[in-house]
Amino acid sequence: MGRFFLAGSGLACALCLGLAFAWSAQAQSRPAKKDQTAATPEPGKDWRALRDGLDSVFEELQALNGLKPSPTCDDETFLRRVYLDLLGVPPSPAEVAAFAPGRKDAKGRRGQEKREALVEDLLRRPEYARNFAEYWRVQTIGRDKGREINDHLEQYFQRAFAENRPWDRVVRELVTAAGKTPENPEVAYLVSFENERADIAGTTMRVFLGKQIQCAQCHDHPYEEWKTDDFVGLQGFFALSASGAKGDGADRYWFVNDNPMPANGHELSARLRLPGRHKLPKYLGGDLYKFDRDKTLRQSLAHWMTDAENRWFREMTVNRMMAYFLGLGFVNPVDDFNSVNEPSVPVVLEVMGKDFAAAGFDLHYLVKAITTSKLYQRTAQPTRYNRKDRVYYSRFFVRKQSPEQLYRSVLKVSGIEELNPYQPVRDVPDDKLSEHEKANKLIRDRVMGYKNSLAMYFRGAYGSDEPEKAFDDYSGSIMQALLLMNFPLLGDGNLKTSLSEILARTRDGKTRVELIYQTVLGRNPTQREWAILRGVMASWPDNDTAYEDLFLALMNTTEFATVG
C-alpha cells in the first residue's frame, strides 16, 4: 500500500481541517450553556477531541483507499493489550473479573466508557511508571551500561512518570542534569556516555528529535544537509561538561559538573577551540548560539530542543508513542526523520504534535487519546481488504513483547514474587537469627535466587538486542526461542506459585483450566480449545502434572510473548 501524499490529492484541505471538524462536532454534541453557542474546543484542552479527530481522518483515508478495517476487539483482548502496553504485565484473574469482559463493571460501565475508565486507572498505577521507566531507560542508554547506572536512571524516570511530569521538562532535566547520585539520579543519562561528547550529541538528537546525525561526525551526510561543521557545532554544547565517579563500594557515586561560563563570547570561543568554521556552538539546522552567561551551554540547548515551536521535538514524541502503541509510526524507523523518509500522513502528525504541545506536553493526554481510539481497538485479524495495509491503521499490528515486558510477565504469571513475601533480614551471622528470621531469610534467598537467575537468562538472551525493532520484525535468536522452554518458570517447587494456588483452591478440572488460562493469557479458553481439551482431560493422571504441563505450555505460546 503506497503512502498518502497531499500534492494533487484533492484531500489536502480535508485532512488539514479533519481534526478541527471532529473537535467541532464533539463540542456541538455536548449541551451548550444557556444563551451560548458551542465552540470548537481549544487545542490541547480535550484529549477525546484529539482522539475523535484522529479516528475521523483515518476512517476517511481507509475508505478512500478501499480498506475495510478490522472490527473492534473484544473486552478480553483490549484488557490484555492495554495492560501489557501500560503496565508491562498481563492482567491477573482478579483483574480480569473486575473488568467484567462483555458485561457491565461494578460501576455500571460498559463499552467505550468502561475502556476509558480502565486507561485512566492504569495511568495512576505505580506499574505504569515502572514500565515506562524501563522503556525510556532502554531507549536512551540501552541495556548494557551496568546495574547502578540503569537503576539511577530508572529511579529518575519512575518519579517523573508517577508525577506525570511534562515531557519537555523531563528532557530538559536529562540534558541539563548536574550534581551527583543519588540526590540527582537524572545525571545517569550523561554519565552513561563516559564523556564521549560525540555520542551524547548523536544520541540526544536521535532519541528526542528524530535526527540521525551520527555519520556527520566524520563526513558530510550523504543525502541530508548536515555537514561535519554542524555536528561539531552541536557537540560544542557539551564541551564544558564532565562526568565521572568517586568513592568505592556503598560510598560510590556518579556526578556531572559544568565548568564556569567565561565572561563573554570571545573567551568562550577561545576555550572551546571548535574545529571548522563555527567558533561557537550551533543549533542543529538553526542559528549560532548567542552568548548567555546566565545559562550553561547545555541549558541553552535543552531550551531550544524542547520549545513548543520546535516541530522536531513535538512530532518525534507523537511518532514514538504512535509506534509504541500501534506498532507503526508515521515515520519508520521512529527515530529517523529525513528528507527521504517522510511521514506517511504528514498533516495528521503535524496537528497531533501541535495539540500535544498545546496540552503542555502532557503524556497522559497523548496516551489516552491513542489507547482509546478506534485505531488501537481494532483486532489484529486482517481482512482480505486490509491485509497489505502498512499506513492507515485499519488493523492492529501484533508486536513482540520487549524483553523487559516479557521478564515482568513471567514474574507476574508465575506468582513467585507476589505469593512469597518476606521481611528485611538483619545483616548478622545465621546463628544470631531466630528461627522465624531463618525461615524468612530462606524465603528471601529462594525468591531472589529465582529472580536473579531469570534476569541472568534474559540478559544473556536479549542483552545485545537493539532498543527498537521494526514493526514487522519478529526475528530472534535460538537462545531467545529456547529461554522459556529451558528455564524453570515455576521455580524449584519450594515456593508458592500461581499454579499451586490454583490447584489448592479447587479440584474441579474445568475451573482449574479456566483459572490457568486467565492467569497466563488473561482470557478463558475458546470453544475450539475447549473441544480439544475435553478430548484429553479424561485421560489426565491424578497427580496434577497435566495441569502443570498446560500452564507451562501456555507460557511458551506466541500469544503469551506478544501484544496483539
pLDDT number for residue 35? 45
Q: Tell me, what DSSP letter sits at residue 8?
A: T
In the chain, pLDDT over 90 holds for what percent of residues? 80
List residues bridging with 400 in a β-sheet.
562
Asked if residue 225 has pLDDT above 90, the reply is: no
Q: What pTM was estimated for this model as a whole?
A: 0.91
Query: Could you tell me the pLDDT band of residue 223, with boundaries at 50, 70 and 90?
Result: low
pLDDT number for residue 15? 44
Least confident of 114-123, 169-178, 337-346: 337-346
Asked if residue 5 has pLDDT above 80, the reply is: no
Average pLDDT, the chain: 90
The span from the CA of 143 to the CA of 482, in Å, is 21
Query: Could you tell me the pLDDT band of residue 28, with boundaries at 50, 70 and 90?
Result: very low
- Those residues with Cβ within 8 angstroms of residue 122's Cβ, 6 or more apart along the chain or in another chain: 82, 83, 86, 87, 128
The span from the CA of 279 to the CA of 125, in Å, is 49
The span from the CA of 154 to the CA of 147, in Å, is 10
List residues bridging with 69 in a β-sheet.
none
Residues 325-377 pLDDT 10s:
999 999 999 999 988 899 999 999 999 999 999 999 999 999 999 999 999 99
How many alpha carbons lie under 13 Å from residue 55 in its C-beta half-sphere? Answer: 21
DSSP reduced 3-state for 143: coil
- Those residues with Cβ within 8 angstroms of residue 35's Cβ, 6 or more apart along the chain or in another chain: none
Query: Could you tell me the pLDDT band of residue 27, with boundaries at 50, 70 and 90?
Result: very low
pLDDT number for residue 277? 87
The span from the CA of 564 to the CA of 398, in Å, is 4
| Mean pLDDT confidence for 243-261 | 95
Query: Could you tell me the pLDDT band of residue 221, with boundaries at 50, 70 and 90?
Result: low
Query: Could you tell me the pLDDT band of residue 32, with boundaries at 50, 70 and 90?
Result: very low
Spell out the domain ranges in the chain.
Answer: 15-31+39-72+309-397, 128-305, 399-420+453-563
List residues bridging with 246 in a β-sheet.
253
Residues 443-482 pLDDT 10s:
999 999 999 999 999 999 998 788 877 767 778 889 998 9
| Mean pLDDT confidence for 273-278 | 89
75 versus 220: the higher-pLDDT residue is: 75
In the chain, pLDDT over 70 holds for what percent of residues? 91
| Mean pLDDT confidence for 88-105 | 95
Q: Given the C-alpha cell 561528547, which residue does it identify?
A: 197
Query: Could you tell me the pLDDT band of residue 40, with boundaries at 50, 70 and 90?
Result: low
Asked if residue 14 has pLDDT above 70, the reply is: no
Residue 46: left if φ>0, alpha if ψ -120 to 50, beta else—which one?
beta
Query: Could you tell me the pLDDT band of residue 219, with boundaries at 50, 70 and 90?
Result: low
Least confident of 23-27, 49-53, 103-107, 131-135: 23-27
